[in-house]
Each structure stands twice: as C-alpha cells, then as structure tokens.
Amino acid sequence: MTEHELPSNLLEQAVNEMSRLPGIGRKTALRLILHLLREEKKDALKLGESLTKLVNDIHYCTVCHNITENEVCDICSDSARDHKTICVVEDIRDLLAIENTQQYNGVYHVLGGIISPIDGVGPGDLTIDLLMQRLEGEMPDEIIFALPTTMEGDTTNYYLHKQIAGRVDKITTLARGLSFGDELQYADEVTLGRSLVERIDYQTS
C-alpha cells in the first residue's frame, strides 16, 4: 500500500517520524496520523505540542535520573524513605512497577537502558558513572539489581557487579522462581530449576 508515494511531503515526514517508534510500521503510522487529522484542529495539535514540550523541558533527577519536574525527584527528596538502599532499574516503567507493589521503601537509580551490543547500547550510554558517584557520596548499605531477566539484563547485572563489588557490603538481585498462579507443568525448565535450587525454608516464607 505504502509503495505508492504519499501525496504530501508533510504527511511523508510525519509518517517517517512516527514509524521510527518501536513496533510502529509505516501502515500503522499512516493510520494513526489519518486518525489525528480527522479530529478538531485544536485537539489534533495537542499530541505534537505535548511531545515537543516534553522533549524540550524534560528534567532528570540529578540524583537518580528519574524523570521529574524539579531538580531532585519526589522519591529522592522524601526523607521518610530509606536512602541507604538503592534499587537499580532499567527505566521508569520498572520503577513505577516496583512502586505499585508498595513493598519497597528505598530509593532508586534509573540506568536509562541496559547494555545491548545489538542495539548499540554500551555502558557509556547508561547512567553508570552517576551511580558510581552516588556510591562514593551516599555510602549505601545495599544495592538491589532489579533488571530484566534477559540476556541483556544479565549482561548488565554482570558488568555492574564487577564495577561495584567491594564498594558496597550487600549486593542483591530480585528473586527468580515461579510466578504467582504458575502451574509447575507449564513453567519453563530454567525457572523451575532455579526455584528448586533457591528453595525457601517453609518456616520463614
């Protein structure tokens, strides 16, 4: 369909930009943009304007690299939280997911990605330098790695561990095992194997 040239350069450019987003192809981009064009002009303008404003005015917390509107984010400036425990996450979606559990009262460090050579993301693209500075200044008791359980997540875990080992007393990572509601027969071998190896004492669980 999109083999045929679009009838307007403006449309072509918008479709090109939209289809650079992950999982959005040219057909989908055109569909979304045509939907936008059918709206009232003042409503249709809001998406572009809010994106431009966001990219121009976005601030990252100078402590943990969370997105914020202030110099320091709400979590880092909350004195009721435990500033001696730092949870390292890939991006703010994971931070929000952990906040939603209401099981964590420490602070965070947002890496802004994970090491992925295929996508051209190396350690230098992440906020690892900032994390190392925090270790010097804040002397945390514990660092928790809360990274994805993927090849890239494990690579990042490994790299961070090598950098941090010896500087912090306690380095932990999220437990791996069966998910809530999992049936054993459908669990993958790696997960089931690890949940056996790292089985928990029934008295303490």
Q: Select 102 or 205, whichever has its Cβ closest to its own copies.
A: 102
List contacts with its own copies (CB under 8 A).
Answer: 1-4, 6-11, 13-14, 16-18, 20-24, 28, 30-38, 41, 44-59, 66-69, 73-75, 91-93, 96-97, 99-100, 112-113
Dist. CA 165–CA 147, nearest whole Å: 17
Least CB distance to its own copies at residue 168 (A):
26
Least CB distance to its own copies at residue 42 (A):
9
- The answer to whether the CB of 134 falls within 8 A of the CB of 63 is yes
Q: Select 55 or 196, whichever has its Cβ closest to its own copies.
A: 55
Q: Select 53 or 170, whichever has its Cβ closest to its own copies.
A: 53
Helix, strand, or coil (residue 87): strand
Listing DSSP states for 147-171 in one string gives: --SSHHHHHHHHHHHHHHBTTBSEE
Listing DSSP states for 19-34 in one string gives: TTSTT--HHHHHHHHH
Least CB distance to its own copies at residue 121 (A):
9
- The answer to whether the CB of 171 falls within 8 A of the CB of 161 is yes
Q: Select 78 or 198, whichever has its Cβ closest to its own copies.
A: 78
Q: Select 52 or 149, whichever has its Cβ closest to its own copies.
A: 52
Least CB distance to its own copies at residue 192 (A):
26
Beta strands 59-60 and 82-89 are unpaired
Least CB distance to its own copies at residue 170 (A):
26
Q: Residue 101: enclosing H or E segment and its boundaries? A: helix 92-101
Dist. CA 71–CA 86, nearest whole Å: 19
